[in-house]
A and B are shown apart, each in its own frame.
Chain A
Amino acid sequence: KAGVTQTPRYLIKTRGQQVTLSCSPISGHRSVSWYQQTPGQGLQFLFEYFSETQRNKGNFPGRFSGRQFSNSRSEMNVSTLELGDSALYLCASSYSGQGVGEQYFGPGTRLTVT
């Protein structure tokens, strides 16, 4: 079974631009969560989608948004990029979001904002 894939793997953007990251979950998984990882902060929860609906949201500004498509693929968008948005963005998928720990993470997208 193929794992969670994220594209692109690396991205360099300029302050003020916007960016869209993509996540393809494991086949059959309907829940996709997004996390931001920065040095010293660990992983911080952005949002979670299940069956195209956002079920949970973390404490991030409205510049961070996401969506999920009918095939469970998910995208996250960051508008008006700031230097502090430089981070590793990870997505995780699970069958239903249930079963604590049953989340499978992708390798992440490394975003650098200059």
Chain B
Amino acid sequence: DQQVKQNSPSLSVQEGRISILNCDYTNSMFDYFLWYKKYPAEGPTFLISISSIKDKNEDGRFTVFLNKSAKHLSLHIVPSQPGDSAVYFCAASEPGSSNTGKLIFGQGTTLQVKP
């Protein structure tokens, strides 16, 4: 039972354009959502997070939007750069689990940014 789903396995965008990565979840009790980026042969690196009490969080070129009624979040990258090409994972934590390391991950979306 996949509680966090990334339905698009891959996405290709042109350099300079916007990349939008989507994530759906089923558990309305999740209190934090996170995005991680993973390059080949490296571990995932934390990108940006959002609390369930907010609907937007921005950090430079990266913005995460949360739509709780739709149980949907998205990561916007503007402008996209070739170095952004990686696998992006959406993750969520349950109340009480955010400080015990347990995150529930989606399957990942491979983003390719073409020069």
A interface residue numbers (CB < 8 A to B): 4, 31-33, 35, 40-45, 48, 50, 55-56, 58, 90, 92, 94, 96-108
Q: Which residues of B contact A101 (CB under 8 A)?
A: 32, 34, 46, 48-49
Chain A positions within 8 Å of B89 at CB level = 42-43
Using A40-B107, A100-B93 as known contacts, say yes or no to A107 and B101 having CB atoms under 8 A apart.
Answer: no
Number of interface residues of B (CB under 8 A): 28
Q: A56-B97, A94-B101, A97-B99 are known contacts. Are A102 and B46 too (CB-CB below 8 A)?
A: yes
Inter-subunit contact B34/A45 (CB<8 Å): no
Q: How far is the CB of B37 from chain A (nearest CB, A)?
A: 11
A105 to B42, CA, bound (A): 8
B43 interface hit (Cβ, 8 Å):
yes
- Chain B residues close to A by CB (< 8 Å): 4, 6, 32, 34, 36, 41-46, 48-49, 89, 91, 93, 97-108
A56→B112 CA distance, assembly (Å): 35
Known contacts being A101-B34, A107-B42, is A55 close to B101, with CB within 8 Å? yes
Separation of A109 and B97 alpha carbons in the complex (Å): 25
Contact between chains at B43 and A48 (CB < 8 Å): no
Q: Which among B4, B44, B45, B106 has the highest number of chain A CB atoms within 10 Å? A: B44
Decide yes or no: A56 and B101 within 8 Å by CB, A42-B89, A100-B32, A100-B34 being known contacts: yes
